[in-house]
Amino acid sequence: MTRLTSEWITDMEEKAAGWNDELRLRIGLDYIDLAAKFSGRSRKEILKASEVYKVAVIPVTSGLGTISSFSESVAAIVRAMGFDVIVTENTDVNGIYEAYVKGAEILFIADDDRYIAMNRKSGAVGDNNIATASGYAEILLSMAGLSEGAKGAKVAVLGYGIIGQLIASYLTGKGAVVSIYEKDESRKKAVKAAGYGWMEDKSKLKEFKYIADATSEGGWLEAEYLHDEAVIAAPGIPFSLTEEAKTKYAGRYIHDLLEIGTACMIGGAV
């Protein structure tokens, strides 16, 4: 699991709202739509929630400690959805207490293993892994023109870690036929047992127009391996596409570091 660095997200506060607009323009889904899809609620209900709920982001020092600008970045994303958001001055348990005292109902907290949004009143929780997988799967379906159903659509999922497994399962649930590219051979048995195809090598990728990339190795995916009409939803960090592939596939891929997953988490917590 990749840990974000402060350099990667340093400009999130300026960019979170603009990325929301860009997603809406490019794929017809913005943060609110993605949260709505994740929660099974309507856009209107999430918008209503944004007027009602107060959100607190609590910096957590355990393990490797706080990531500078992580909490502010989360706050900026949720704020771009119209919620009233604070970052607590205190960290950890003291920060949770501060969030209660200040009347926040939805609390965002992350340590080295898990990142969640929890609704302290209803008990609802949005887990970042599940939310990210849902968000990117929906984005891929939207880019592929398959939002109304993906029956029989051939999709390649790259990487069979936590997010890759969740995306594969989500897309299968929508009717897609999933094949996995995963360089760790020890995962082959689990892939086959789950009923997915297994690609022996990345040259097979060329056969797939629809790609979800959940690998965590940057700059390995060259344009020559990709279908000319490929669309790519890529939650994997660092981003896989080489500079040349980014140029060739400009406008045909969606990748971010924190925004889509965080937006969907709200859906799980309202």
Applying CB under 6 A, which of residues 37, 53, 59, 239 lies at the interface with ligand 2YJ? 59
Count the neighbouring beta carbons within 10 Å of the beta carbon of residue 183: 13
Residue with smaller CB distance to ligand 2YJ, 20 or 235: 235
Segment 212 to 251, residues that bind ligand 2YJ, using CB under 6 A: none
User: Is there a contact between 109 and 58 (Cβ–Cβ < 8 Å)?
Assistant: yes
Under the criterion CB under 6 A, does residue 115 sit at the interface with ligand 2YJ?
A: yes
Q: Which one of 36, 60, 76, 106 is in contact with ligand 2YJ (CB under 6 A)?
A: 60
Dump the DSSP string for 240-258. Answer: -B-HHHHHHTTTSEE--SS
Asked if 108 is part of the footprint of ligand 2YJ (rule: CB under 6 A), the reply reads no
| Smallest distance, ligand 2YJ to C-beta of residue 141, A | 21
Min dist. Cβ of residue 4 to ligand 2YJ (A)? 5
CA distance 136 to 163: 10
**4 forms part of the interface with ligand 2YJ (CB under 6 A):** yes
> Which of 22, 43, 54, 67 forms a contact with ligand 2YJ (CB under 6 A)?
67
125 binds ligand 2YJ (CB under 6 A): no
**Can the peptide bond before residue 235 be classed as cis, meaning omega within 30 degrees of 0?**
no
Q: How far apart are CA 237 and CA 91, in angstroms?
A: 26
* Residues 62, 34: Cα–Cα separation, whole Å: 30
Q: What residue ranges in 31-160 does DSSP mark as E strands?
A: 54-58, 84-87, 106-110, 115-119, 125-127, 154-158
Stretch that binds ligand 2YJ, among 28-36, 112-120, 212-220, 223-231 (CB under 6 A): 112-120
Task: Give the footprint of ligand 2YJ on this chain (CB under 6 A).
Answer: 1, 3-4, 59-60, 66-67, 70-71, 110-112, 114-115, 128-129
